[in-house]
Amino acid sequence: MPRLPFSIVAGGALAVVTLGSIAGAYAYSHGLGGLLGTQPTANQIVDRFEAVSGKHPGFRRNHAKGVCVTGYFDSNGNAAPLSRASVFAAGRSQVVGRLSIGGGNPAQADGASNVRSLALRIVTPGGGEWRTAMNSAPIFPVRTPEALFDMLAASRQAHDATTYGDNPGMDAFMKTHPEAARFDQWLRDHPPSSGFDNAAYYSVSAFRLIDRDGHAQDVRWRVEPDDAYTPLAAAQTHDTDFLERGLAGRLRQSPVRWHMIITLAQPGDVTNDSTRQWPANRTQIDVGTLVVQREEPQIDGPCRDISFDPLKLPDGIAPSDDPLLKARSAAYAQSHERRLHEEQRYAAGK
């Protein structure tokens, strides 16, 4: 049975669960109880993230290392028949985003993660807002919050193991969650990109677009870079911060562009399982261009206090029945509560 390396589990596989810095719409300070029944609480999930990477006050519990970016999204209007969301009407919306790697240690080397992440806050001229957190892998290793909770425990054991392979916890996890092998295989088949700028980023979870008549269409989205993908070079790993350095150098040449592609589900395509991709023959629509013009350090940049909660959706975009979405949203709120408390203690000199 394939085994997920710790660097993947802690740094890459969990990248889709971007624990935000401020509360979103689901500010459940006491966890997920009542929202997700017997599933692990947000408090418990965040505790396990901290157990894997250690406590780093003031930083996000996952994706602690990242960089702020700003730019715009030019919609071409192609998605307007599918969704009444103003962001899909032809025109330009402003963007504040964040490029990052997985893991809760803000000082970790860029090479420690096999997955990059891109989170966006898109605001239309009329004030509509859409937040999305995307990952450079199109699937997730597990499909439920319970399995995520178990994977975090197994990854902690991997972290503590003295030698690679000396990890009965991860072995047991893989036996009880064989679906995780699909994610492991995808990473083996797709080496990490050499930069933030030449990676594609995926919604992973399914969502629903709602048109003006109330009709719903299940979709996933991704952004495809104009820059040609190149795999990570061995020499790059000697630079702890090669991703941010590379992005800064690339932006000195010109803005970086991605095309946003929406994939339409057909009847029978699963929407509640992020470990499975849809068939490659599904209809795909180019709906506009994301342009990043500037990058800034996250310590005081415009993305610092944004929670990229995937359930911060405008009218015309709705969540699917993917059980991870509500768990992610609640965990963002819990992470914010802790981070805010830490910042207040720091300001007070305690």
pLDDT at 71: 98
The residues, ordered by sequence, that sit 6+ positions from 325 with a Cβ below 8 Å of its Cβ are 205, 310, 311, 319
332 annotated binding-site participant: yes
Q: Is 63 a catalytic residue?
A: yes
Alpha carbons 200 and 98: distance in angstroms, whole number: 14
In the DSSP assignment, the letter for residue 204 is -
b/e map 164-184, b = 16+ CB within 10 Å: eeebebbeebbeebebbbebb
Helical segments of 93-229, H only: 145-160, 168-176, 180-189
Query: What CATH number should be reported for the domain whose range is 6-347?
Result: 2.40.180.10
Given the residues 30, 63, 190, 341, the one annotated as active site:
63
pTM: 0.86
User: What are the CA-CA distances from residue 162 to residues 157, 158, 165, 167 (Å)?
Assistant: 10, 9, 9, 9
Closest alpha carbon to 102 in 114, 91, 94, 93: 114
Q: Provide the angle, in degrees to the nearest 10, between the axes of the packed helices 168-176 and 145-160.
A: 160
As averages over each run of 10 residues, the pLDDT of the chain (350 residues) reads 35 33 26 50 78 80 92 98 98 98 90 93 96 96 90 71 60 91 94 97 98 98 98 89 97 98 98 97 98 95 92 97 91 77 74
Give tens-digit pLDDT for 21-77.
222 222 222 333 333 446 788 778 777 777 777 888 778 888 889 999 999 999 999
Every domain of the chain and the residues it spans: 6-347
